[in-house]
Structure 1
Amino acid sequence: MSELEPKGIITTVSESPKVIKGKNGDAVILVPQPTDDAEDPLNWPIHKKILIFACVGFAGFAGQMAPNSNQLTFLLQTETYHDTTSDMLNTVAASLAGWVAGPFLFIPFVAVIGRSSVILWSLVVVFFCQIWAAKMTGAGDYISFTISRFICGLFGGIPSSLGAGYIVDMFFLHQRGKAFAVFEVLIIFAVVGGGTLGGFVAHTLPWTYTFWWTLGPVGAAIIGVFLFVEDTTFSRQPGVAVRSPLPKSWIANRIATFLPGTRTQPAGKGREFIKRAITPLQITFAPITLLMGTYIFIALGLPIMQASTLATYLQPPTAIGGYGFSSLQTAFFTMTAWIGMIAAQVYGYLFNDKIPLWVARRRGGGTWKTEYRLANTILPSLLLPIAIGLYGAGLQYHLHFMVLAVASFLIWFGALLVMPVCYNYIVECFLHNPVETSVSLNAYRISFGLMSVFISTDWQTATGVGWMWGLGAFLILLVDGIMVGLILKGHLVRQWTVRLNSAIAVSEDGARITAKLDPATP
């Protein structure tokens, strides 16, 4: 039986908790407890949940991939615009800046037209921004091209920020680790994969095709969202306003959900809009988020810096310290990151739920504590400083490119092990605001990558390439200390957060998650 499917419910009596049989013979108690309402997404059949999740995940992938589809090919555009490498690198920075700002600006519209509608129309904007970029082929089009990248980034990061809401709505606590692992790997895979595929395209076609080809996946994401994604909001909080049921007819349901989607939201949209605009800022500066955000800023920012600046190390001629790679060879090199991400995906799917449940049984006697999620950060926290240090040494001493390839694999394997766990943990610290929490975490994750685009040249000039990345490795060791503190004392930091803002600091601490089965239970 798949752990993602709540089959084999042992009891459905209202006064008894609903549980499923765990693989080790224990009972896994369903948290949160599903209601008897058919509108409750927790009660939906697993095939429906997976279909919606797949469409939202692909939307996040397509939206995240499009803004940086020229990540490995921007050097080819210097001949078109007659600009320097630094100027073209700034176009990549424009996309990153959009990723940071866009969710803060547009996620509040979820309160007006709903998550599904915001995803759909964000993808439509991304689609047209890709056409805009591909048409900027004149020598004087640099500014317009850069603006297209910024706007594409503004809207491209929105679907990935909304995915956490669907995960929390549709899946139980013991399933979310897998769901976050799949979703976050898709998002980061888009960051690297978009550039890789663009590199393959640019090997035989003009650079404009690095944007034209993305219309396929972005268009497919638009169609998938429109056809299959449904509104999953369902309040279990007493006294909270709820929307009226949506139409059952497919066409009427699609119109109510997307055109423009106001029927998916209950009354009081204006007040809720203001609340959703403020909540991400409250979460961003909450004590628990500041600590985890600092870890994410460094541990996930450095891999983004590695991906954003990769072409500047591999493509220059060997005579000036590069490796003389073509765009095709650079694209093949990034396959090491792909392999690392796939390995992290497999590991996360197998262990991101299993290890926390094991810790809950051994240390908590079957009672849940949110910090149990963080047991899965121990391995990547050890791997990342080693990988970053190896990458810097390879560049400093101009070692064989296979040394850089091994380092790249370890960087992305470690980053993609830790990222879903960190997101899952903080989302479960602010359980009623998963989307706003993702907005906050995305800002921490992307900010270092954005900053590095502007400072990496001066940083490298001041310290040398080896010490630049070596310092990065030491910074990860420093924030590893923060992670150790969160594993051991994170619950105390969350108590401070509750004192500051009890309205948003909601978790599932103390919930009974496992229990011994009655031998008489079938």
Structure 2
Amino acid sequence: MLPGDSHHRGSGSPPGTVPLEDLQRSVSGVIILQPKPTRDPNDPLNWKIWEKYLNFGLVLLYSLLVFAFIGAATPTWGPMNIELGYSYETLQDSYAVGSAALCIGALIFIPTALKFGRRPIYVISTLLQFGVAVWFAKIQTVADLMLVNAFSCLLGALAEVIVQMTVADIFFVHQRGMMNSIYVWIMVIGSALGPLAAGYVTTSQGWRWVWWWMAILFGISFVLFLFFYEETKFLGCIDGLTPVNHAQREDSAGSQGNMKGEELEKELDPEVGERMSQLNTPNIDPSISRKTYLQRFSLWSSSPGSLMFFLRHIYQPVIVTFAFPAALYVAVVYGMLTALWQVMITVVASVMPEPPYNFTASQVGLMSLAPFIGTTIGSVIVAPLSDRLVLRLAKRNGGVYEPEMRLWILLAFAPLVPAGTLLFGYSLGNSQPWYLVALGYGLYGLAMGPISSTSLTYLTDAYTNIVADSLAGVTFIRNLFATIFVFALTPWTASVGIQNVFLTMGIIMAIILIPGTIAVLYYGKSIRCWTTDRYRQYSAL
């Protein structure tokens, strides 16, 4: 049982609290599917497993290319400095411009995904990224540099939100930890191995070919999404009676279920209640036909909504972030974690080509192997562990799952973040051997993957219905942090030195991750109870 869990047993449950195992069916318990799938075979929760994995595989490819596109620039800075005369301060500023664009990209485009579906966003954004990559390959002026960073990141912001929307669309609660761990690992592959590949391409073919290769890959991705990515936004009906979408399905099932699930059935129509108590496999209605290929791969699928719908979902994510403490907690944790990651990337790219390291573009790229190896190890440990842990803890809690159960993993890896940050900053600031810098970089990566995936899954599970708004807000805060830190990096470093910059950031991360997470472990459920009515209000919008 979670600390503080007993305070709310008995009455209704807060959002995110769901029965996950029926311990009365067997000794080991039978997994209860959350959210409850409808009987419609077109419901993405009812898709065949290969269909889910095909869609998710394409989404991972999209994420890989987007994060590689954002990160691939840093190894090209040295040659760009020589050929085009860009100063390293200008190059750092261009990275900060990209971070600022990442802040607002999700706020601009996510309302479109909510109204017209995920498919048009993936298809159109890959086509636009193809065009930006061609532009990047031909840049000549500082204005070009700033604009391509702005546009690539404006579009790239989608990968930080729409992937979580897709995960919530097609996977159940007991599967999301694994899927988010894979997503974060792919994100790090793009962010870490993208620069590595870019370094070798820069050395062998010239820095402009980095962007020609990105254009080729985005072109291939566009074709794959056009012909193979099926829409996951579900608009169907329960037993042909009441139109529902994903959020309504979850609201009628997960967020109103109680600790054992019996009271849920009393609140619903008996027939619906009987169906929703089905365990382990969806109960599909054979009279409902699967859509044709052309219907399933239509470019968009509109849902009700007006101009006010768009406008509301542009500003609402920021309100949601501050209205729900869980969203604010994830925004600060994930935001600071990835902002520090971006600061490390820019520092390596700007400091290590200079004496005493004198790294080439390919050597700068090789430094990204350290966090990649660290994150891979962390992901291998956590990906299978996360969902198994919550099933075990739910079983100990009478079969009831609380989203805070995932945070024990976050707490276990938290000390590695300040440790890696301090070792990285001290080694680089005092011109220590490169392998000490890499070791700090790797320790940070070892913690970053598990903490990122755990925090994102916690938010998705706690507030599934408003996952788009909450994650758009998280992305805004995260990239706001990154923009501030990257813009401030040059004068801050000049004032106090690299080692003191990272000392300060290490202390901040330790405070956020350890006392902050302990507080959420103890009081998270009470806070979710407090925000239940607010959650239902925003779910209906």
Q: TM-score range by the shorter chain?
A: 0.7 to 0.9
Corresponding residue to 1:273 among 294, 304, 310: 310
Which of 96, 101, 107 does residue 99 from structure 2 map onto?
96
Letter in structure 2 aligned against 1:279: Q
CA change 1:154–1:20 in 2 (3 A) is farther
Measured in 1, the distance between the counterparts of 2:69 and 2:532 equals: 38
Question: Aligned equivalents of 2:480 and 2:471: distance in 1?
Answer: 14
Provide the C-alpha distance between the structure 2 equivalents of 1:304 and 1:26, rounded to a whole number of angstroms.
Answer: 43
Q: Which amino acid aligns with 1:135?
A: K
**Aligned-pair distance for 1:274?**
3.6
Please tell me whether the aligned partners of residues 129 and 148 of structure 1 are also in contact (alpha carbons under 8 angstroms): yes
Is the alpha carbon distance of 1:312 and 1:43 closer, same or farther for their aligned partners in structure 2, counting shifts above 3 Å?
same
Which residue is 1:490 aligned to? 524
Paired residue for 1:357? 391
Cα distance, 1:172 vs structure 2: 1.1
What per-residue deviation string (whole Å, max 9, x for no partner) do you get for residues 225-281 of structure 1? Answer: 1122111223579965669x9994424543x2x1xx1xx123335454344334312
Q: 2: CA distance between counterparts of 1:28 and 1:501?
A: 26
Matched, 1:340 2:374: yes
Amino acid at match of 2:316: T
Match of 2:461 in 1: 428
The alpha-carbon deviation at position 159 of structure 1 amounts to 3.4
Is 1:130 aligned to 2:168, yes or no? Answer: no
1:462-510 alpha-carbon deviations (Å, 9 max, x no partner):
222111111111111111211111111111222343354542379xxxx
User: Match for residue 145 of structure 2?
Assistant: 145
Aligned to 1:233: 233
User: Which residue does 1:250 correspond to in 2?
Assistant: 293
Distance (Å, rounded) in 2 between the aligned partners of 1:357 and 1:17: 7
TM-score by length of 2: 0.82
Residue number in structure 2 paired with 1:301 = 339
Question: What is the CA–CA distance in structure 2 between the aligned matches of 1:399 and 1:206, rounded to whole Å?
Answer: 30
Match of 1:116 among 116, 119, 130: 119
Q: Given the alignment of the two structures, is residue 25 of structure 1 paired with residue 68 of structure 2, yes or no?
A: no
Give the match for residue 320 of structure 2: 283
Look up the equivalent residue of 1:411 and give its one-letter code.
Answer: Y
- Unpaired runs of 5+ residues, structure 2, are 1-18, 247-287
The secondary structure found in structure 2 opposite 1:300 is: helix
Matched, 1:455 2:488: yes
**Which residue of structure 2 lines up, in the alignment, with residue 84 of structure 1?**
87
Q: SS where residue 117 of structure 2 aligns?
A: helix
- Name the residue aligned to 2:259: none
Superposition deviation, residue 125 in structure 1: 0.9
**Paired residues of 1:315 and 1:330 also in contact (CA < 8 A):** yes
Q: Aligned in 2, Cα 1:211/1:118: closer, same or farther, shift over 3 Å?
A: same
Aligned to 1:465: 498
Change (3 A) 1:105 1:246: farther
CA 1:21 to 1:133, structure 2 compared with 1: closer, same or farther past 3 Å? farther
How far has the Cα of 1:435 moved from its partner? 2.3
CA–CA distance in 2 between the matches of 1:310 and 1:21? 56
1:378-393 correspondence runs (5 A):
378-393=411-426
Q: Is the 8 A contact 2:107 2:314 kept in 1?
A: yes
- How far apart, in 1, do the equivalents of 2:422 and 2:476 lie? 25
Q: Deviations over 1:54-81 (max 9, x none)?
A: 1112112212322332122223212233
Residue 167 of structure 1 aligns with which residue?
167
Distance between the aligned counterparts of 1:352 and 1:17, measured in 2? 14
Q: Is residue 203–residue 327 contact of structure 1 (8 Å, CA) maintained in 2?
A: yes
Partner amino acid for 2:86?
Answer: D
Letter in 2 for 1:25: S
Name the SS for the 2:233 alignment partner: coil
Give the number of the structure with larger relative contact order, counting CA–CA contacts within 8 Å between residues 6 or more apart: 2
Q: Deviations over 1:438-460 (max 9, x none)?
A: 22222233332222221111111
Cross-structure match for 1:10: none
Pair 241,361 (structure 1): closer, same or farther in 2 beyond 3 Å: closer
Question: SS of 2:469's equivalent?
Answer: helix
Counterpart AA for 1:55:
L
Q: For the structure 1 residues 496 and 189, does the alpha-carbon distance in structure 2 shift closer, same or farther, using more than 3 Å as the test?
A: farther
Sort the Cα spacing of 1:213 and 1:274 in 2 relative to 1 into closer, same or farther, 3 A: same
Query: Contact 1:355–1:375 (CA<8 Å) still a contact in 2?
Result: no
Question: Is the partner of 2:90 in helix, strand or coil?
Answer: helix
- CA separation of 1:230/1:484 partners in 2, compared to 1, >3 Å: closer, same or farther? same
Aligned to 1:52: 55
Asked if 1:312 is matched to 2:350, the reply is yes
Is 1:281–1:440's contact at 8 Å kept on the other side of the alignment?
A: yes
Shift of 1:338: 1.5
**Per-residue deviation at 1:22?**
12
Cα deviation for residue 52 of structure 1 reads 0.5
The amino acid that maps onto 1:284 is: T
- Post-superposition Cα deviations, 1:190-219, rounded to whole Å, max 9, x if no partner, equal 222222211111112221112111123222
Aligned-partner residue type, residue 190 of structure 2: A
Percent identical residues: 20
Aligned-residue offset at 1:285: 1.6
- One-letter code aligned to 1:299: L
Q: Which structure 1 segments of 5+ residues have no match?
A: 1-15, 507-522
- State the 1:305 CA deviation: 1.2
Residue of structure 1 in register with 2:6 after alignment: none
Q: 2:403 aligns with which of 360, 370, 387?
A: 370
Distance 1:34 1:112 in 2: 21
Could you say if the C-alpha distance between residues 76 and 370 of structure 1 is closer, same or farther in structure 2, counting changes exceeding 3 Å?
same
Counterparts in 2 of 1:446 and 1:21: CA distance versus 1, 3 Å: farther
Matched letter for residue 205 of structure 1: Q
Q: CA 1:177–1:23 in 2, change beyond 3 Å: closer, same or farther? A: farther
Bigger shift: 275-284 or 411-420? 275-284
Residues 315-356 of structure 1: per-residue CA shift (max 9 Å, x gap): 1021xxxx1111111112211121112112212222111112
Matched, 1:401 2:401: no
In structure 2, the CA distance between the partners of 1:430 and 1:240, relative to structure 1 (3 Å rule), is: farther
1:12 is matched with none
Question: In the alignment, residue 313 of structure 1 is paired with which amino acid?
Answer: V
2:23 and 2:315 mapped to 1: Cα distance?
39
SS at match of 2:425: helix
